[in-house]
Structure 1
Amino acid sequence: MQSQAHSIHKTEETAEKKNENHNCNNVDNLLASVVTEPISAGDGDKADTENGNSPSKVTKTITALKPLEIEEKKRLLLKNCVETLHSITKSSAREADVDNAPFTHKFRKSVLHVAKAYFGFKEGEVPYSVIKEHRETIARALVEHNIVHLLCDALSEVLVRDDYSTSEGKMIINNWFPMKNIILTLLNYSDCNDQVKKIITEHSQVLSLILKFLSDKLQRYLNSELTEDFEKMCKWFLSIVHNCGALKENLQRLRELNVIQTVLPYLDSQHESHRLTVLAILADLINEEEAELLCADVTLFQFILKSLDKALSTESHKNLGWSAQELTRAVKQLARNDANKEILVHEGCLPILVKLLDIGTEVELHEAEYAFQLRKKIVPLIMQRNYKPDGWLGFVLGSKLYYDFSGKYPFEVSMKKLLKAVLEPAYNDDVDSQPVRTLYLYSH
């Protein structure tokens, strides 16, 4: 890793240094203005089928579902998934408790079903809020039925037995396919549920074995000597570690497992998406005293800011499978450290963060339209005095009235009116002003 960052900042003029200190404060303010969520797998959701092939990339016209169709599909998906979870709890994972015993057909089928349940709704047929809610519902069911712990047990066992590949590195299908679906299930559902993150982290074996795998494969990974499947395992395991690190209460456990020392060499990966995952892991884990681990290489900061800027320039607001929101969270974690913050400012993060504040209106529009379709109440709030928004929001709201939390009226008065609006089935006339476009929408 190059040692450039410290020398850059020592040569700054005093006046410019003062300006950078001011800009560092602006970084905090801008990052606080951006709502971020837990980061995902890094290179997108994984929807591999058990035979090892990704779903065929056939262009299809996706028809948007109607509200009643959405509710019925949600019900059926959950019902089928719960039945599958019961099947997992009542059956053995292996044919017998002996070496080289394959996974049972029933277990393989059940794990595949759970892995696919994550993709029950497709983008385009429903608003993203429905997809998010569905995935969170399935994740809660996994926790409630103790499936996460069972999958951690099964993954630990196969890693200990090392019976998923031959000595030549060829995968043993009967064990590799279910193992892969276990990994993907833990990866995807740890992205959307804190309890899943916690269970994985607190499991007695699984993270230790994942980190051992990453350590054992490191040199061959960096030398590009691994097969495609083993390289995927490295990628997925890094993503699981990152998801676990997104939960603050897991950080101490991850530090005790020496995650920093294990993943740090993976910053030299030839795959940019893998490097992003590692950088995000380190941003969560590194403390003030360890800041030099990243400060020594300014190119890391350039890389993540470049990735964020590229994401903001695309229609999907994604780059390398990472959303702008996810990348912003990583930048925010890096900015916890003052030395890192100075580097981020020096490398031009402020204009990028300002650009970030302008995105998201299309998603918000879809969510508002969906609320109207379901006949859900929309309660508009204005949070900033003299705020005059423009664009689509006024058109969507029409004649809806807002509740003023800008400070113009006592908070208690505004809250009383808001609670009345939220709890009653019909809209109230007891509002603070004439119809306006609003800053935030809360759907009830």
Structure 2
Amino acid sequence: MSSTLSMALRGLDHGDKKILRTRFIAIMSKATPDYNENLHEIVDVLIETNFPCVHVIDHPIFILMRNTLVDIFQKPADEFHLLYRIGELFSRMADYVDDKNIHLFQQLFTDATIIQCLIRELSSVSLTSHDSLISGIGHLIDTYRKFQRFRPDIQDNVILSSLIMPIVNFVKSAEYKTSFLRLSAKQDEITSFQKLILVTCPKYIVSFWCKRQPDVARAAAEETLSRSSDILKYFLPTIDGWKESVIWCMFYMVWLCQYSSDDCLLVDYSVQHTKLLDYVLKIVQGKKLLYLESQDPTSGNLQKRASELLCYATLYIYATTFLPELCQKLKEYNITSILLRLTKANYSKTQFHAYRILAVVLSSDDIKQLANAAQITTVFIFYLKESINLTSTRSRLMNLLLNLKNLSQHDEIKAEFGRQVEGLSLLIQCATESQFDPEKVQLCALEIIMSLTFNNEVEAWLRQNNIFVQYLQTLTSTSNAPYLQKVAGGILWRLYGKTEHEFQYDVMISYCHKDKHICHRIHEALNADKFRVWIDREEMHGSMMEVMADAIKQSRCVLICMSDNYYLSPYCQAEAKYAFEKRRCLIPIRVQSGYKADGWLAFITTCLKYVDFTKMDFDTAYTQVVSEIRHSKAGWKNSSVILSPSKMSEAPAMREGGLESTVASLQKRVELIDSDPRLTELDNEGDGTRENGQ
């Protein structure tokens, strides 16, 4: 029968469903009473001929196969080889799943009985179980993974989703670590049980991205992270001698760690992630892994496994950058040279992840020293375009924009966007199209555009884009989203600007609202001491940039409240640079422990004394701030031309016919500011630490 069947199938067109159904009917009509014997032959031939059969998967012969699996599970007998072969056939068929036939897979496999059989077997399978039984379970789990992958709506099915937690619990069992540690340094092949618990089941878990994903990740996290550190500690000393089996299993273990590294889990398991990060950084420095990755991608499985492991190790490192203390740790490690090597990897995703880490950890000086600022920008533009066009990569789009928000602070990257205007068009697409989330995508894209307006070429290009300018004007007047109004107003202000005014305030506090606790305390203290202070405590929106500009022009001094948050905020950059351009007295204060001014912020605060609120008690630091404000005020009063704000009602500009006098006064003021040494030279008095442009 097998030879006849084989000949019949070899002569068929894979897409000829009608004839194929007829053949299957004929096969079943000639079957003997021992269906299992016939199924053995049918399954073997289908596997041998690699016949996909996906278009006829609803044929009774496949239902018979599924029911036979249930019988074998429920009535233990020496039929495990048939179970294994049917599972293998189903797994192969699932390789051909697509949107046209997915409903057929659902009909066949959304069966509570076979799911319950799998769950029961996972709770009892062990190293001593029959190899064919273990392999059969593995093939069936692979089948379920393949047809549900990238289909969260199907993963949400109550029957299908009941399989995920038993798989998680199986991987969390003590057998996982035991199986891993049993991998021999000379072991090229892994056992069927090791493949099930170290490869197949982890692969199923990391492909699970439906509504229950956060709960699944949390369920796996604690055991996964702690155990992975122990395993890496054991294997890392021999990293350059790892065989393919170790590299393969290590890849899925690192992928599980990455799966357990969303924002909440990074915080809740920060101790475990901190320890694990040290180990994963050693993986991406493994000489053998890097050598294998650099070889011809078609050279074999060993090269493929090494590339996969380096890719997901790099992705895990990127994931840790979302926890501030781990991000700071990466900056202190000075891993730029490692990342630059990974940007040349054969695997494009490894390159991408390395660039994403660079976007976070590179300082302005690092960017200036790189010869590939253009390449970094090109890669991000490529993945931005890809992520926009694919619905399945929307979460990556949000992270990508966050990376670009960091990168866009660097002048070299701004200049590249001025040259590679396709990137600007893509950002405008993200900012304006209704398909994108207003807060997570549109807002971030607009903030990046605002940062890029500090480049003259970008600014000129945007001014010529009338449709985008009209969109911004509409946002500022009609949008129901205050955060979009705010940034739209900021971009328009950057493009068109406003005019000068007289002083009305002693000091303006320029700060990021994420640092509001200390900044609001400074504001309250200044108010108590009768200083006239301008501060935005309510996160204004709409025409906010115009108000900020007026506040700067009406303030004698501007407190620059320095932190990473401040540096990364395009609004704060706009305020600080405008205050610098208007020659206001800048008083830098540090509100984040260990922060060193970088890039544009270093440029405008170089040679200025700053006050460190993180190294002194509040009262001591505040006293220094008051001293600086009063020192500045005394300087203005000593000028016979510059008017005290308290006397502004008596100024000629405020009296009828006093316009010419006001113009002359303003011109003289500019001359005096240009010559005032307090605004351009280091003040050597006082105890404040000095920035050195770092």
Q: TM-score, normalised by structure 2?
A: 0.37
Match of 2:405 in 1: 332
State how 1:35-434 maps to structure 2 within 5 Å. Answer: 56-59=95-98, 60-62=101-103, 70=156, 72=158, 76-77=162-163, 79-81=165-167, 83-84=169-170, 86-88=172-174, 92-94=178-180, 109-111=196-198, 112-120=200-208, 131=210, 133-144=211-222, 146-162=223-239, 165-166=242-243, 171-172=244-245, 175-190=246-261, 193-195=265-267, 199-203=272-276, 206-213=279-286, 215-218=287-290, 221-222=293-294, 224=296, 227-294=303-370, 296-312=372-388, 314-316=389-391, 318=393, 323-348=396-421, 349-359=423-433, 361=435, 386-387=478-479
CA displacement at 1:289 relative to structure 2: 2.5
**Structure whose alpha-carbon radius of gyration is higher:** 2
Change in Cα spacing, 1:184 to 1:197, as seen in structure 2 (3 Å) is: farther
Name the CA distance, whole Å, in 2 between partners of 1:294 and 1:310: 25
Q: Describe the SS at the equivalent of 2:178.
A: coil
CA displacement at 1:140 relative to structure 2: 1.2
CA displacement at 1:239 relative to structure 2: 1.8
More displaced stretch, 329-338 vs 292-301: 292-301
Name the CA distance, whole Å, in 2 between partners of 1:80 and 1:185: 16
Q: TM-score, normalised by structure 1?
A: 0.54
Is residue 93–residue 104 contact of structure 1 (8 Å, CA) maintained in 2? no
Change in Cα spacing, 1:141 to 1:315, as seen in structure 2 (3 Å) is: closer
Change in Cα spacing, 1:99 to 1:231, as seen in structure 2 (3 Å) is: closer
CA displacement at 1:280 relative to structure 2: 0.8
Change in Cα spacing, 1:107 to 1:385, as seen in structure 2 (3 Å) is: farther
Change in Cα spacing, 1:92 to 1:217, as seen in structure 2 (3 Å) is: closer
More displaced stretch, 342-351 vs 281-290: 342-351
CA displacement at 1:100 relative to structure 2: 6.0
Change in Cα spacing, 1:82 to 1:160, as seen in structure 2 (3 Å) is: same
Name the CA distance, whole Å, in 2 between partners of 1:189 and 1:177: 19
Is residue 309–residue 352 contact of structure 1 (8 Å, CA) maintained in 2? yes
CA displacement at 1:157 relative to structure 2: 2.6
CA displacement at 1:306 relative to structure 2: 3.5
Change in Cα spacing, 1:270 to 1:66, as seen in structure 2 (3 Å) is: closer
| CA offsets 1:64-94 (integer angstroms, 9 cap, x no match) | 9999994745873464245325523896345
Name the CA distance, whole Å, in 2 between partners of 1:284 and 1:202: 20
| CA offsets 1:340-374 (integer angstroms, 9 cap, x no match) | 2333344223322110124463889xxxxxxxxxx
Q: What runs of 5+ residues in structure 2 fail to find an aligned partner? A: 1-87, 107-147, 439-474, 482-539, 543-694
Name the CA distance, whole Å, in 2 between partners of 1:136 and 1:106: 28
Q: What runs of 5+ residues in structure 1 fail to find an aligned partner? A: 1-48, 122-130, 365-382, 390-405, 409-444
Change in Cα spacing, 1:327 to 1:55, as seen in structure 2 (3 Å) is: farther
Change in Cα spacing, 1:360 to 1:74, as seen in structure 2 (3 Å) is: farther
Name the CA distance, whole Å, in 1 between partners of 2:341 and 2:169: 43
Change in Cα spacing, 1:120 to 1:322, as seen in structure 2 (3 Å) is: closer
Name the CA distance, whole Å, in 2 between partners of 1:67 and 1:216: 41
Percent identity between the two aligned chains:
13
Is residue 115–residue 181 contact of structure 1 (8 Å, CA) maintained in 2? yes
| CA offsets 1:373-424 (integer angstroms, 9 cap, x no match) | xxxxxxxxxx9864489xxxxxxxxxxxxxxxx999xxxxxxxxxxxxxxxx
Change in Cα spacing, 1:260 to 1:280, as seen in structure 2 (3 Å) is: same
Is residue 233–residue 279 contact of structure 2 (8 Å, CA) maintained in 1? yes
Change in Cα spacing, 1:66 to 1:187, as seen in structure 2 (3 Å) is: closer
Match of 2:646 in 1: none
| CA offsets 1:172-225 (integer angstroms, 9 cap, x no match) | 4xx454333213222333357424676334238522421321x55445544548
Q: Describe the SS at the equivalent of 1:354.
A: helix
Which amino acid in structure 1 is aligned with residue 255 of structure 2?
L
CA displacement at 1:136 relative to structure 2: 1.6
CA displacement at 1:285 relative to structure 2: 0.8
CA displacement at 1:237 relative to structure 2: 2.1
Name the CA distance, whole Å, in 1 between partners of 2:215 and 2:224: 14
Match of 2:677 in 1: none
Name the CA distance, whole Å, in 2 between partners of 1:181 and 1:363: 32
Which amino acid in structure 2 is aligned with residue 188 of structure 1?
Y
Change in Cα spacing, 1:407 to 1:114, as seen in structure 2 (3 Å) is: same
Name the CA distance, whole Å, in 2 between partners of 1:299 and 1:66: 35
Name the CA distance, whole Å, in 2 between partners of 1:194 and 1:303: 27
Name the CA distance, whole Å, in 2 between partners of 1:68 and 1:185: 22
Match of 1:430 in 2: none
Name the CA distance, whole Å, in 1 between partners of 2:173 and 2:225: 14
Change in Cα spacing, 1:207 to 1:362, as seen in structure 2 (3 Å) is: closer
Change in Cα spacing, 1:270 to 1:74, as seen in structure 2 (3 Å) is: closer
